[in-house]
Structure 1
């Protein structure tokens, strides 16, 4: 194994943490967008079903 200096090891750890943080942040944003989309879709379906019930 190659010898790493303490500074390069610390930099690697910091970069790794930042990449993980950014990835998690983006994944959470995508999850929230999906949940908002699903909520809107289900509300639209509920409204449509209620209209059908009212008409019958």
Structure 2
């Protein structure tokens, strides 16, 4: 097995942590956008249904 220096290990751990944070942040952004889209779609459906009920 190759001998890994302390510095290389620290840098690789830092890079792994930073990429994890970045990916988590991006995933949360996508999740938020999806939830906002679903909320808006349901609001629109509710509005059209209420209009149909008012006309009936």
TM-score bracket for this pair, using the shorter chain length: over 0.9
Encode CA deviations 1:6-54: one digit per residue, 9 max, x unaligned: 0000000000000000000000000000000000000000000000000
Hey, what does 1:17 align to over in structure 2? 17
Flag as ranges the 4+ runs of structure 1 deviating above 3 A.
Answer: none
Report how many aligned residue pairs link the two structures.
Answer: 56
TM-score by length of 2: 0.99
TM-score by length of 1: 0.99
Q: Which runs of 5 or more residues in structure 2 are unaligned?
A: none
Q: Which runs of 5 or more residues in structure 1 are unaligned?
A: none
